[in-house]
Amino acid sequence: MIAIIGAGKMGEALLAGMLNTGHDPADVLVTEPREDHALALRARYGVEVVTADEAASRAGTLILALKPQDMVALLDGIAPALKADCLVVSVAAGITTAVLEKHLAADIAVVRAMPNTPALVGLGMTAIAAGRHASEADLDRAESLLRSVGEVLRVPEAHMDTVTALSGTGPAYFYFIAETMIEAGVLMGMPRTTAEKLVTQTITGSAAMLRDSGEHPVVLREAVSSPGGTTAAAVRELERHGVRTAFTDAIEAARNRSRELSEG
Ligand SMILES: NC(=O)C1=CN([C@@H]2O[C@H](COP(=O)(O)OP(=O)(O)OC[C@H]3O[C@@H](n4cnc5c(N)ncnc54)[C@H](O)[C@@H]3O)[C@@H](O)[C@H]2O)C=CC1
Ligand SMILES: O=C(O)[C@@H]1CCC=N1
């Protein structure tokens, strides 16, 4: 039995992704304190909604998808109910395996995971790192569960805050760029629906080329840049406005915030 505690944006994306790829709703429990949302989840996915204690006592695999700030109180609450052989997978930004082990049980198997919301459409990117008592078999179990919603990479836990800044937070950077490009089209008088179509397909096609061509992004960008042309003019403006530095600083700020979240 798999239980998900906290079915907000990320927990629901994992739930929907898992069910879309063949998991049986009868094998999934959900804990969600917002009553109306809990009812909607039951109606939408056919899963059983239970208390956190019940989820902990019945789950073979427990996925924790509540906010980092709510995590310690939840861990302390469920610790006595948890099965000794339960695998605990936390997707919370910044919460280390040491914190999970300290508040659950010293010898519990925990895996720290960082997914992203494209899990909802089966194109998620998740990185995982093992706690002190998670065996290779536990990592395999976490990986096969998360592979149902996209790709999975194993990383040393020391990289998890950077993972959070790159792939966990990453979809927001692309939505920010998409939003900005659409508004620029509208500013220049284009109908919004036309701008949305042009931008969405451009981002989708560019992402597919990046994934499938094996080329470095600089090479792909050079192929768009005709001598004396429009792309070179646009890129000069991006550099003049420090967009490269702004992105680097933004990613570093996300990494630093992830580190802070483990401090409570
Ligand atoms: N949103 C994203 O793109 C990603 C989020 N995460 C992580 O996922 C976790 C959840 O983030 P979001 O889904 O964005 O937040 P959210 O606020 O949408 O979801 C949190 C959910 O937890 C529920 N909750 C609160 N207290 C609870 C409790 N005591 N027991 C059970 N459920 C409780 C809330 O009602 C809510 O539905 C965070 O730890 C975040 O770091 C990780 C990767 C990506
Ligand atoms: O914004 C956040 O804190 C979460 C973690 C990664 C993406 N969203």
CA torsion angle 195 201 204 210 (round to 10): -100
Q: Give the Cα-Cα-Cα angle 61, 66, 71 (nearest 5 degrees).
A: 90
Q: What are the structure tokens assigned to 194, written together?
A: 């036309």
- pLDDT grade for 264, boundaries at 50, 70 and 90: low
217-262 confidence digits (pLDDT tens): 999 999 999 999 999 999 999 999 999 999 999 999 999 999 999 7
Pocket perturbation via mutation, ligand 2, pick of 95, 164, 258, 261 by most ligand atoms within 8 A of CB? 164
Q: Of 82, 78, 76, which is closest to residue 107 (Cα–Cα)?
A: 82
Strand-pair partners of 5: 31, 64
Q: Which atom of ligand 2 is nearest to the CA of 68?
A: 3
pLDDT at 21: 83
User: Which residue, judged by its Cα, is nearest atom 37 of ligand 1?
Assistant: 8
Contact call for residues 123 and 207 (beta carbons, < 8 A): no
Inter-CA distances, 181 with 94, 171, 229, 232, Å:
32, 15, 19, 17
CB count within 10 Å of CB 234 equals 12
Domains of the chain: 2-160 (3.40.50.720), 170-261 (1.10.3730.10)
Which ligand is located closest to the Cα atom of residue 69? Answer: 1
Q: Does the predicted TM-score (pTM) go above 0.80? A: yes
Tens digit of pLDDT for each residue in 92-122? Answer: 999 999 999 999 987 999 999 999 999 989 9
Cα distance between residue 35 and residue 193, in whole Å: 36
Kindly identify the ligand whose nearest atom is closest to the C-alpha of 124.
1
Distance between CA atoms of 176 and 135, rounded to whole angstroms?
39
